[in-house]
Amino acid sequence: KNEVEQSPQNLTAQEGEFITINCSYSVGISALHWLQQHPGGGIVSLFMLSSGKKKHGRLIATINIQEKHSSLHITASHPRDSAVYICAVNYGGATNKLIFGTGTLLAVQP
């Protein structure tokens, strides 16, 4: 069982739809990251959260520390949002290494 679980694993949406991707983790963390990965590899950091909510353009990320749950929302989705969205957590400590979820493959159709 992965320490970081995402749902859904695959998501197909129509352009303009509101999208939600969920992430659950098992123990207390120091921070949670939402990342975007396009085909070919490169990973881009979207958000880093330790509490509350952050917004950047059409993207919104929320975290509930008590529930050990985070959501990534995309408003007015667009085909260029098509990518893999990955949730990852820091447990802190000396290395601050990330533990990754398996990702959510999002396809936004025009």
Partner 1 sequence: DTGVSQNPRHKITKRGQNVTFRCDPISEHNRLYWYRQTLGQGPEFLTYFQNEAQLEKSRLLSDRFSAERPKGSFSTLEIQRTEQGDSAMYLCASSLGDSLYSGNTIYFGEGSWLTVV
- Left (φ > 0), alpha (ψ -120 to 50) or beta: where does 57 sit? left
- Report whether 101 contacts 5 (CB < 8 A): yes
Buried b (16+ CB within 10 A) or exposed e, 22-57: ebbbeeebebbbbbbeeeeeeeeebbebeeeeeeee
Amino acid in the structure at residue 93: G
With binding defined as CB under 8 A, does residue 66 bind partner 1? no
Amino acid in the structure at residue 109: Q
With binding defined as CB under 8 A, does residue 4 bind partner 1? yes
Q: Which is nearer to partner 1, 14 or 30 (CB)?
A: 30
**Selected range binding partner 1 among 19-27, 35-43, 55-63, 67-75, rule: CB under 8 A:** 35-43
Cβ atoms within 10 Å of 21's Cβ, excluding its own: 22
With binding defined as CB under 8 A, does residue 60 bind partner 1? no
With binding defined as CB under 8 A, does residue 72 bind partner 1? no
Tell me which residues in 80-99 interact with partner 1 (CB under 8 A): 86, 88, 90, 92-99
**Selected range binding partner 1 among 17-25, 45-53, 58-66, 72-80, rule: CB under 8 A:** 45-53
Q: Which residues bind partner 1 (CB under 8 A)?
A: 2, 4, 30-33, 35, 40-45, 48, 50, 86, 88, 90, 92-103
